[in-house]
Amino acid sequence: MAETRKKTTAKAVVSVNGAAPKTTRLNVLKTYKIFINGQFPRTESGRYYPLALKNGQTVNVCLSSRKDVRNSVTVAREAQEKWAGRSGLNRSQILYRIAEMLETRREQFIDELQSCGETLAQAERELNASVDRLVYYAGWCDKYTALFGTVNPVASSHFNFSTCEAMGVVTVVAPEESGLLGLISAVAPIIAGGNTCIVLASEKMPLSAVSFAEVLATSDVPAGVINILTGQRKELLAHLSNHMDVNAVYLHSKDKAEHTLVEELAALNIKRSVCEYVADWFDAKEENPYRIQQFLETKTTWHPVGI
C-alpha cells in the first residue's frame, strides 16, 4: 500500500517537471479510518497522528477520543444480546467467514505488515497464523459450553445444571507489538463467547487493525460486535477501564503500572479485568478455550424433579 504511494508520488513529480508522463493514472490512496457499528467514521475529534512507515512514507491515523470510546460502548451494548443469542453454530460460521475473508486479502495484509516493519517471511507467517487462529476459535463457538457447562449432582431432588453466558461488553487494549495476530488472538475468543467489544489497536502498528475492520465488514459480523479504534493508549486506557457500562476489560501490556491502573478503575463497577503480557503469540499454548472462559459467566439453574 505504502509502496504504491511512493511510486505514485514519483510519477507526479516527473509530470510537474514537464516531462511526458508514461502513465496518467494516479493511484487512489486509502484513508485509514476507525470502525464503529459496522461503519467507518473518522474520529469524532477530527484529530490524527502521523505514522511513519518503514518505506519512508507517512500516513495519518485517527487519534480516537473518549467520545469515540463512549459511542462504541453504546453500539456494542446494543449488539451484545443479539450476538450472544445467536446459535454457537452461527457464530462459528461467522468466525470462519472472517478467516475466509482474511485469507483472500492476504497480499494486502502481508504488504501492510511489511510496511510496519516486518520482513516478508515474518509477515507471511503472521498472516497464516492469524487465519488459522480464527479457524481455531470458530471451532470453539459451538463446543466450549460442552466443556465448561456441567450437570450438578445435587443431593436433593432437583435437576441442576450450570451453563456459560457471555459477560457482555468487553474493552480490549490490543497487543502493541503484534498488530494482526495479537489483535485477533485477543478478540476472537471474546466474540466466540458471545461478547461484543471495543478494541484499541496497536499504536505503532494500526494498519492491520484498520484493514481487519474491512475484513469484518464483509464477513457477516453484525454491526457493533467488534468496534476498532486507533489512538493513544496513554489517553484512552482510563476511559476504556472506567466506563460504567462495560463488563470486562482486557489489557495486554508489559507495564505493571498500566495493569494497576486498569485493575483499580475496573473496581468502579466490579468489571472483570484480565491484564497480561504474552511474549509470543505464535506459541500454540496461547490458543485455548480458557481464553473464551475468562470472559464467560456461569449460570446455575435449579429445577425440581417429581410428579
Partner 1 sequence: MAKKQDKKHADSASDKAILDFGKAQNYTPAPESTGHIRLKKQYELFINGTWVKPSKGVYFDSVSPSTEQVLARVAEAGAEDVDKAVKAARKAYTEVWSKMPARERGKYIFRIARIIQERARELAVIESMDGGKPIRESRDVDVPLAANHFFYYAGWADKLEYAFPGKTPESLGVAGQIIPWNFPLLMAAWKIAPALACGNTVVLKPAETTSLTALKLAEIIEESGLPAGVVNIVTGAGATGAAIVNHPDIDKIAFTGSTEVGKIIQKAIAGTGKKLTLELGGKAANIIFEDAALDQAVEGIVNGIFFNQGHVCCAGSRLFVQEGVAEKVIRKLTDRMASLIVGDPLDKNTDVGAINSAEQLKKIQEYLKIGVAEGAEIYQPTCSIPTKGNFCKPTLFLHASQSHRIVQEEIFGPVLAIQTFRTVEEVIEKANNTPYGLSAGVWTDKGSKIFNLTSKLKAGVVWANTYNKFDPTAPFGGYRESGFGREGGLHGLLPYLKLS
Find residue 274's DSSP bridge partners: 250
Least CB distance to partner 1 at residue 133 (A): 10
Question: What's the CA gap between 272 and 241, in Å, rounded?
Answer: 10
State yes or no: residue 279 binds partner 1 (CB under 8 A).
Answer: no
State yes or no: residue 212 binds partner 1 (CB under 8 A).
Answer: no
> What is the footprint of partner 1 within residues 128-167 (CB under 8 A)?
132, 135-136, 138-143, 146-147, 159
> What is the footprint of partner 1 within residues 41-60 (CB under 8 A)?
none
Nearer to partner 1, 133 or 252 (CB): 133
Least CB distance to partner 1 at residue 250 (A): 22
Nearer to partner 1, 134 or 261 (CB): 134
Question: What's the CA gap between 35 and 102, in Å, rounded?
Answer: 17
Q: Which of 89, 120, 154, 267 binds partner 1 (CB under 8 A)?
A: 89
> What is the footprint of partner 1 within residues 69-88 (CB under 8 A)?
88
Least CB distance to partner 1 at residue 135 (A): 7
Nearer to partner 1, 28 or 305 (CB): 305
State yes or no: residue 15 binds partner 1 (CB under 8 A).
Answer: no
State yes or no: residue 289 binds partner 1 (CB under 8 A).
Answer: yes
Question: What's the CA gap between 148 and 144, in Å, rounded?
Answer: 6
Nearer to partner 1, 18 or 304 (CB): 304
Question: Which H or E run contains 24?
Answer: none
Cell of 76: 456494542
Question: What's the CA gap between 45 and 68, in Å, rounded?
Answer: 8
Least CB distance to partner 1 at residue 239 (A): 36
Q: Which of 40, 48, 49, 96 binds partner 1 (CB under 8 A)?
A: 96
Question: What's the CA gap between 95 and 191, in Å, rounded?
Answer: 9
> DSSP per residue over 43-105, as a string?
PTT--EEEEE-TTS-EEEEE---HHHHHHHHHHHHHHHHHHHHS-HHHHHHHHHHHHHHHHHT
> DSSP per residue over 238-291, as a string?
HHHHH-TT--EEEEE-S-HHHHHHHHHHHGGGT-EEEEE--S-TTSGGG--THH
Least CB distance to partner 1 at residue 131 (A): 10
Q: What's the half-sphere exposure (Cβ side, CA atoms, 13 Å) at 237? A: 22
Nearer to partner 1, 161 or 277 (CB): 161
Interacting residue ranges for partner 1, rule: CB under 8 A:
88-89, 92-93, 96, 132, 135-136, 138-143, 146-147, 159, 288-289, 303-307
